[in-house]
Chains A and B, each alone.
Chain A
Amino acid sequence: MAITLTAGTFTASGKTYEPILTELLFSNKTLNEDLVTLADDIKSTTEITEVSATVTMQAYTSGAPTSQGGQTSVGTVITPVKLMYYNEFDPETLRFSRYGRDMKKGAWNLNLGEFETVVLDLYNRKISQDVEAKFWNNALAATKVSVAAGANTTAEKAYVAGITAGLFDGLITRIIWNGGAVGGRINVVGTTISATNILTEYGKLYAAIPAVVLQNTEEKVRIYAPYSHLQFINQYNVNPANFTKPFVVTKLGEPGQTVFFQGIEVVFVPMAENQMLAALPSHLMWATDLASDISMMKIDFIANNRQDMFVKHIFTIFAHVMLQSTNVLYL
């Protein structure tokens, strides 16, 4: 059974410390802070369209003009993958713990009370965190085979090889391998990053961003980086030898904290170490049926004649990348 209960020496007449110390978890930052584009209401097969255009100036002629330039519209059909988390547990196990205190009198009553509000809530948040981590890092078994045999860089092959085969391709995998071929991303060869070399490595990423993307006035490019980079950036900034501060950190440790590098916002997501991505948020899509599905759980009895229970989450997800030729992957 799923509950692993280490109840200590609890007795019904004893006292318990009221707060329950749960694991420290991030909420799902990628969705909560709109770090990528959320495309919900995608129930099944949906076409995502990318449009590009070329224009060519030509000399005036009063005679028959020549058609030059063109418009390209590329449609990609995506189908979010339907997934679930399912866990069974027996409330009877809880009767002998602190969670038994708020069960109503009567042997029939095994209501969950505190267990539901604290422990299952934590479980729920952990799923939200797991989905976010897999949105960034995940790969189908078939994609792992394709990348291993394909023409990707060895670092990209190493990254995909290390990922445990999952049920959909994560965003970084989609950037690496897309539409049955090597992704059209701009690749920057990466190395191991620490506070010592973080400026140099961010400089490589910055230099590879197409100038037109940097000049985009409608939408600002972002640098997506692993959580650990915030520590490296702060360690870099407090080193007295680094008298210039290329990383501008405001409201450090407070709500609304921001980090900028050369005028580009750096956002921290559960990416793997030693990799970064520079892209417009509209190019990175989290497609799903309903965004709130991830935080919705159903708890019920397994059957009418039983008192053990289940907790179940159902949702759909698809990581999609657009206009690949402008996305810079440091790996």
Chain B
Amino acid sequence: MADCKYKFTDKVNTVELTGFFPEGKEQLLKLSTKQLKGVSPFGVQGGVITEEDLTDELAEWLMARKSAPTEAYPEGEFLYKNAIELKAKSK
């Protein structure tokens, strides 16, 4: 999204999806592999949120997303705290 003020950092991994994806104009599904840089808050089965999908709302939701509680982090850990930054932020 062009108007999103956030972007992914370099720490975001590339996820490989293998499956049957639509191809061409016909209702055709072709077995192929896609390399997508992004995050999967719902596991690979739920696909990958790429930078193109990011909106301010989604980015802020991702930044607030926590892991399940563990002994070390009873409140959960922020899953994507290093994954998203403001576009204006200088390196």
A residues at B contact (CB < 8 Å): 81-87, 126-127, 130, 133-134, 137, 148, 154-155, 157-159, 161-167, 191-194, 196-197, 226, 228, 270-275
Which residues 31-69 of B have a CB within 8 angstroms of A? 31, 34, 38, 40-43, 45-49, 53, 55, 57-58, 61-62, 65-69
Complex CA distance for A194 and B71, rounded to whole angstroms? 12
A87 touches B31 (CB 8 A): yes
The residue of chain A having its C-beta at the shortest distance from the C-beta of B57 within the complex is A154
Q: Which of B30, B58, B68 contacts A193, CB < 8 Å? A: B68
How far in angstroms is the closest Cβ of chain B from A195?
A: 8
On whether the beta carbons of B69 and A130 are closer than 8 Å, the reply is no
A-B contact pairs, 30 of them (CB 8 A): A82-B27, A83-B28, A84-B28, A84-B29, A85-B20, A85-B31, A126-B31, A130-B19, A137-B45, A155-B61, A158-B58, A158-B61, A159-B42, A162-B38, A162-B40, A162-B41, A162-B42, A162-B47, A162-B49, A166-B22, A167-B22, A191-B68, A194-B67, A228-B43, A271-B45, A272-B43, A272-B46, A272-B47, A273-B42, A274-B43
User: Count the A-B residue pairs with Cβ separation under 8 angstroms: how many?
Assistant: 111
Label chain B's interface by main secondary structure.
mixed
**A192 CB contact (under 8 Å) in B17, B28, B45, B68:** B68
Question: Would B28 and A162 count as touching, CB distance under 8 A?
Answer: no
Q: Is the CB of A226 within 8 A of B28?
A: no
In the assembled complex, the Cα of A226 lies from the Cα of B70 at a distance in Å of 21
Contact of B46 among A154, A163, A166 (CB under 8 A): A163
